[in-house]
Amino acid sequence: MKNITCIEDLRRAARRKVPRAFFEYAEGGSYAEETLRANRADLERIKLRQRVLVDVSERSTKTTILGEPVSMPLALAPIGLCGMQRGDGEILACRAAQAAGIPFTLSTMSICSIEDVAAAVDKPFWFQLYVMKDRGFARSLIERAAAAKCSALVLTVDLQILGQRHRDIKNGMTVPPQLRLANFIDIATKPAWALSVLRGKRKTFGNIAGYLRGMESVNTLSQWIAGQFDPALSWKDVEWIASLWPGKLILKGINDVEDARIAAKTGAAAIVVSNHGGRQLDGAPSSIAMLPPIADALGSQIEIMFDGGIRSGQDLMRAIALGARSCLSGRAYIYGLGAGGQAGVTRALEIMRNELDVCMALTGITSIGGISRRVIASMEARQSGAGNPPSTL
Ligand SMILES: Cc1cc2nc3c(=O)[nH]c(=O)nc-3n(C[C@H](O)[C@H](O)[C@H](O)COP(=O)(O)O)c2cc1C
């Protein structure tokens, strides 16, 4: 890991080590990938003010998320099939996050189950919920998360139906992976990956394993989701979920001011401004373009988290400056996991924390609470975002 100096290095290493179908599953976005690209491009366009001769000898990246102390304003995002980037990937990533002092979120569509992860780590983690048509099953997932002492429930609201990802179809991705002529050489040249997945606790979706019974032949993710996820999910169901969940509720996948206003009235503890990493509505604005208007509309009514395109500490600074209290990392940590398992995730987190620390020093800031729109160099972005078209970024 010594020569790994940035997230891009981890991405390249992951591409060498993870079979193509799973690497591209993580890398890709929906349809023409316009929103996927916009997430990165719009972040890169935001320039930071270089400030000098400020005493920055005492700095800290520590802050809180939902009242809990964290070493930096970051949590690991829910990632489906995490355990296909590396065997037991969810456990490895959770351990790395907890050692780094930040929250880990387990996806409904994970390989290791809620109980597998709870048995393997010693602190609580967050659980992300997708709501199925079978509400009894959704309820049982919430109860299992509560029994495992998960410390927050992340309800994902932007995937009632699945945006098509061309790459997954072209790669013929299946879960569990099947060795066929087309992928034989690919898998044969990734022995460390194959061994880790073979040795891993599970080869298919751990949380829904019992529920999948009789459906093993439906092996593509999109077919399964189309059949099971509930397209009728509405704001009324948020009340129902809140009534079942005793702890903190986070609504993930808000990318519109009107939706953000409704979300703030649900009693949820936080929202995540997100477009699912460019994997759902292609043509949606980047999430960083929507962050300032949403932050302006909500003020301090509800905690605002952000994701989409975070690949560095500088990106964390940009998002915090534009109104997020904290961010989620998706692909950045997944590249680390594919590149080097738990050590790779640890490296990804070290890289981003160190970058944030240096970025704070060079912008003349000593605490996370001191980051505001004043650190943004471009005047348009510093203006109140309310009513501004997203393109001002
Ligand atoms: C491979 C992959 C799988 C994902 N699976 C889920 C999931 O199961 N549940 C969910 O709420 N979001 C899921 N997401 C979205 C992420 O939680 C997050 O919103 C997104 O990755 C943020 O963008 P970034 O990857 O650019 O950081 C997934 C994203 C990726 C890349």
**pLDDT per residue rounded down to tens, the chain (393 residues):** 879 999 999 999 999 999 999 999 999 999 999 999 999 999 999 999 999 999 999 999 999 999 999 999 999 999 999 999 999 999 999 999 999 999 999 999 999 999 999 999 999 999 999 999 999 999 999 999 999 999 999 999 999 999 999 988 888 877 778 878 888 899 999 999 999 999 999 988 999 887 766 555 455 667 777 788 899 999 999 999 999 999 999 999 999 999 999 999 999 999 999 999 999 999 999 999 999 999 999 999 999 999 999 999 999 999 999 999 999 999 999 999 999 999 999 999 999 999 999 999 999 999 999 999 999 997 555 554 433 434 444
pLDDT at 387: 36
Which pLDDT belongs to residue 97?
98
Given this model, what pLDDT does residue 382 score? 55
Helix (H, G, I), strand (E, B) or coil at 377: coil
Cα(89) to centroid(ligand 1), Å: 15
**371 close to 360: Cβ distance less than 8 angstroms:** yes
Looking at 11, 190, 248, 276, which residue is catalytic?
276
Tell me what pLDDT residue 171 has.
Answer: 87
Which runs of consecutive H residues, i.e. helices, occur in the chain?
7-17, 20-27, 34-45, 89-100, 114-120, 135-147, 166-171, 181-188, 191-199, 221-228, 235-244, 257-264, 287-298, 313-321, 331-362, 379-382
Asked about 276 being catalytic, the answer comes back as: yes
Question: Which pLDDT score is estimated for 213?
Answer: 61
- C-beta of residue 111 within 8 angstroms of C-beta of residue 206: yes
pLDDT of residue 386: 38
**Ligand 1, atom 4, residue with closest C-alpha:** 79
Tell me how far the alpha carbon of residue 379 lies from the centroid of ligand 1, in angstroms.
31
Q: Which two tokens stand for residue 85?
A: 């980037």
Residue nearest to atom 6 of ligand 1 (CA): 79
* Atom number in ligand 1 closest to CA 110: 8
What's the number of CA atoms in the CB half-sphere (13 Å) around residue 267? 12
Written as six digits, the tokens of 202 are 């599970």
For residue 106, which of 137, 162, 145 has the smallest C-alpha distance?
145
Residue nearest atom 8 in ligand 1 by C-alpha distance: 80
Residues contacting ligand 1 via CB (< 6 Å):
25-26, 39, 77-80, 107, 109, 128, 156, 252, 274, 276-277, 279, 307-310, 328-332
What is residue 48's DSSP assignment? B
